């Protein structure tokens, strides 16, 4: 296992509220609302405009991605990411706190946490409990837009935290990495369809284990304790002392696996960015496993 000092991956609502009260928001501490919802459901930007954590900026993952890719939510270039977060007032010296407004407590925030890490930034945290608990606990909100001073952020891609289609395909033979899929069990098995995905069957990559990301969260929307998370990995026979690739449909909820492992002291989980969205369309049929009609196998 990689040995290094781990920056705190989670901060509490109480800590953030106190930081805001004491005036610590600024160039050295920036808050991001990374909410995103399926089309036709909730409108993330409008909700942000109506109320958000004071001082928070809206991180639009639709704008900060590779829009030229045929696959969903692929990473942008280093230059694109650096320019985007720099306009949000974030430099390489900024502590970034990310949250989202999902009813689960956290959905897209771990993806943005991982995006900062894969682009070389280590001082980034997820707000434990998310906006759901921020509101429940009665912390202040505002509709006032954030207008931070632009900053310079130099992004440097850490390829050890990112896996490509070719690398995952090679891994099916070499088995150097364990492969874990974070989607709901029905989608993993292929017995339930992929939501809002025209032409995308369900199922999983051959050899992948299943750890649904919702299981890492308590019913109240907080991250489970490191002891509980370790027990979950052990129950699935995932060895945290060995290399691990996380996958899902589009590289988003896979980041919950990376976050959970990080909280257990493992900071080197790699994300297969293209995930099932790419694999289903590119991979040899014998590498797709599905129990339903929607799969190729």
In what side-by-side order are the strands of the sheet with 162-163?
A: 162-163, 270-272, 244-247, 178-181, 209-210
Catalytic residue among 64, 248, 255, 264: 248
C-alpha distance from residue 250 to each of 56, 62, 147, 213, 267 (Å): 26, 13, 31, 13, 21
| Catalytic site includes residue 248 | yes
Q: Report how far residue 192's alpha carbon sits from residue 202's, in angstroms, rounded to the nearest whole number.
A: 7
Residue with tokens 């992948």: 208
The residues annotated with a catalytic role in the active site are 248
């Amino acid at each position: 296992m990689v040995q290094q000092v781990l920056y705190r991956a989670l901060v509490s609502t109480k800590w953030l509220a106190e930081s805001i009260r004491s005036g610590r928001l600024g160039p050295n501490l920036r808050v991001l609302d990374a909410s995103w919802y399926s089309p036709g459901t909730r409108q993330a930007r409008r909700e942000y405009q109506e109320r958000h954590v004071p001082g928070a900026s809206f991180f639009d993952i639709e704008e900060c991605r590779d829009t030229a890719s045929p696959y969903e939510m692929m990473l942008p270039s280093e230059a694109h990411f650096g320019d985007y977060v720099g306009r949000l007032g974030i430099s390489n010296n900024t502590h970034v706190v990310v949250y989202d407004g999902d009813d689960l407590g956290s959905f897209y925030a771990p993806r943005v946490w991982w995006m900062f890490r894969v682009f070389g930034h280590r001082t980034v945290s997820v707000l434990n409990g998310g906006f759901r608990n921020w509101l429940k606990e009665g912390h202040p909100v505002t509709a006032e837009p954030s207008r931070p001073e632009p900053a310079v952020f130099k992004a440097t891609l850490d390829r050890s935290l990112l896996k490509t289609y070719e690398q995952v395909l090679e891994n099916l033979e070499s088995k150097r990495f364990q492969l874990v899929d974070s989607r709901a069990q029905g989608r993993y098995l292929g017995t339930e369809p992929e939501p809002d995905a025209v032409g995308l069957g369900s199922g999983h990559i051959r050899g992948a284990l299943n750890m649904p990301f919702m299981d890492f969260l308590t019913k109240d929307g907080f991250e489970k304790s490191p002891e509980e998370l370790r027990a979950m990995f052990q129950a699935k026979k995932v060895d945290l002392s060995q290399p691990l690739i996380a996958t899902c449909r589009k590289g988003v909820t896979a980041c919950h696996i990376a976050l959970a492992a990080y909280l257990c002291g493992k900071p080197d989980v790699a994300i297969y960015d293209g995930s099932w969205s790419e694999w289903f369309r590119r991979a040899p049929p014998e590498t797709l496993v599905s129990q339903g009609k929607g799969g190729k196998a």
